Amino acid sequence: MNEEQFVQALAEHGINLSAKQLAQFDKYYELLVATNAKFNLTAITDKEEVYLKHFYDSLTAAIYYPALQTEELDIIDVGAGAGFPSLPLKIAFPQLKVSIVDSLNKRIGFLNDLAAALDLTGVAFYHDRAETFGGKNSPHRAKYDLVMARAVARMTILSELTLPLMKVKGVLLAMKGSSAQVELANAEFALKTLGGQVLETHAFTLPNGDPREIDVVQKTKVTPKKYPRKPGTPNKEPLGE
């Protein structure tokens, strides 16, 4: 997907980018590749692949959850790595307030440099594990309107990492590949335990045919204080598995 195809594919869904926004995406790509030469941020570095599999893929969240396009949502992106999906969304929809938590400090350094280079405001980056970031005494617990996670963990694990961070009535957007329905079925106990309910699922393909699914989970009640468990436990002992 070249830049022209990127613009056209978004326009077909009513998302129109300005010249300034396109310049920001171009600089994002340049900084991503330059930093990736020093330490690993992504296995995808070809420009057309980045525009398709990182930039466009990230922005599909706004197609299937349109509130991202217009509302001043307070978002936390868990395990965003090089900033996906939340920073492409921030570029396209500047009214969003975006925070990212990631466990690798080098990635946080890259995100700070990127935000400065792109002149992004209303962003914050935190070096932490999701389990402690959303712990029972954390100021970030039950704070956010929207939690996002793209290819982070299967739903049984992801639900424990994300639901404690959401306000009641808040939403998790879990961006997944082709195994999402199996994950949702396996996560029924975890979601019920943590206070989550699946609102809808959106299965679609990228322009190259790659399968994707976005699962929308709403928090319907307060998450019990004992969750999330200590770092590493959700991964080793997923709820209900």
- Asked whether the beta carbons of 18 and 48 are under 8 A apart, the reply is no
Q: What is the CB neighbour count within 10 angstroms for residue 61?
A: 23
Q: Name the token pair of 111.
A: 């995100």
Residue 177 assigned ligand-binding role: no
Roughly what angle, to the nearest 10 degrees, separates helices 19-36 and 3-11? 130
Residues 109, 94: Cα–Cα separation, whole Å? 21
CA triple 10-81-11, angle to 5 deg: 5
Of the candidates 186, 212, 220, 164, the one whose C-alpha atom is nearest the C-alpha of residue 52 is 212
Task: Please report the beta strands in 14-128, taking only residues with DSSP state E, as ranges in sequence order.
Answer: 74-78, 97-102, 123-127
The annotation status of 79 as a binding-site residue, yes or no, is yes
Residue 129 in marked binding region: no
Of 212, 164, 36, 44, the closest CA to residue 110 belongs to: 36
Backbone phi and psi for residue 236, each to the nearest 5 degrees, phi listed first: -80, -35
Please report, in range form, the residues annotated as the binding site: 79, 84, 130-131, 150
Please report, in range form, the residues annotated as the binding site for S-adenosyl-L-methionine: 79, 84, 130-131, 150
